[in-house]
Structure 1
Amino acid sequence: MYITDIDQRDWDEYAEPLTFALNTSYDITRDETPFYLVHGWDARSTLEATLAVGDTSHRDQKTRTRDSAPRSHTVPKRTVLQNEWCKQWFERSRCISQTSTNVIGTNRVKPGYARKLANMWHGPFRVAERVNDVAVRLETAGTPYQLLPIVHVSKLKAVREFPPLPMVQLTIPADERFDFD
């Protein structure tokens, strides 16, 4: 495209036609326009919108057929499911309490070591206090780790704490017990 101004200050004259040209160009792989993929209907120029040029029934029927396809119903359902998943993930990441034990993930690897074999989790640490919604202060006193005690919540992972195994006392005397091995 040729621009008449040497300093290219006349882009505002070309921005709208260029945008319209990009939005109405057909994509070869999907056989649709980018405007239709985003908005669900074909873009028309201001002249086409104000004046019905030619027979528009074919174009309107094609749009109605595409809009009634089952594909138009799957997009909102998928969006709702993605929103619910994001809410659940956000709530899970916020549920770090001061009573839980956590390990911290770091991106640092010692020089000369392979990243895929490195232990990226360090700890365990206890959460001393919650600074804000996305940051916590760790209890690092008495540990050999030298790190900044304020950490982002996404870098923490809860440590599984299993209950102690039950202790069962045998009430049968040893001479009456039958052991087989």
Structure 2
Amino acid sequence: MVRRDSYYQTTGKTFDQILLKEICKLMNTKKTFTTAYHPETDGLVERFNGTLTAMLSIMYVSGHQRDWDTFIPFVLFAYRTSLHESIQETPFFLMHGRDPVLPVEAVMCPPTITYTSSDDYKSEMVTRLQEAFTLAKDNLQAAQRKQKEQYDLKSDVINYAIGEKIWVFNPSTKPGLSTKLLHNWHGPYIIIDKLSDVNYKIQMCDSKKSEQTVHVNRIKHFVDPDDRPITDEGDIGSNIDSIENNDNTMVKILDTMRSRNESKRLEKHYFVQYENGETKWVKENDIKDFAIINDFHISNENA
């Protein structure tokens, strides 16, 4: 039994966490907590919600949108009797061990299989369900492996150190403002703990209270906006010469921006990282390895 008096001293979020942990422990269930703005954690639920809303909005719901609930039973029946690509079976068959019988089928196509006893029906139903579950499991595992291979082709996990400053992607809409012009990257935040390979605990640099857990896909290295590239030709040239003399190779691009030169023309600069960990703003023409430029733009497109 769970002691009730231990909960009187806790409220809100802490109470829910303790209660859920105890319930899951009693039911021998492993609870996975999700992170904000990372729908992949609840991929099955999010995919179903998207499919359901798409079916309702495209095929059935009227323009006034006040009749959507009347169509849910019909849309769900269509969803449950459709062949799913991952499992290569219908949810209805996996639940009942048979395909649904529509009213017109009951009238026009009477059943051709009869059973002499309930035990025969039960035995055949159990065998049919076991075979369906086995095939569905194998198909699902094959689909998962294929999806993982496709994801890994574009995935580049970056490790962040504790104490490192970062930007955090936190999109939000505000009344009267255009979502396209809002600042979606906020910060600087500082990493205070690494919970796993993909989850970090962070807090604002100027606050010790606003701790939160974020997924690695929502963060990137912090680059101070005040750290502008030097527009004086001599200073930039001297920095590049010193880097080349040290035989230091560029390995990664962290950010990009445009600034005006002495002729008041915009020039693109990249914030690059070298093998020794040093970072510098350099002109686009000074980057000899075009592969790191392509990798930078590809990673931004996939973010």
User: TM-score range with shorter-chain normalisation?
Assistant: 0.3 to 0.5
TM-score where L is the length of structure 2: 0.27
Bigger radius of gyration among the two: 1
TM-score where L is the length of structure 1: 0.40
Higher-helix-fraction structure = 2
Considering Cα pairs closer than 8 Å and 6+ residues apart, tell me whether 1 or 2 has the greater RCO.
1
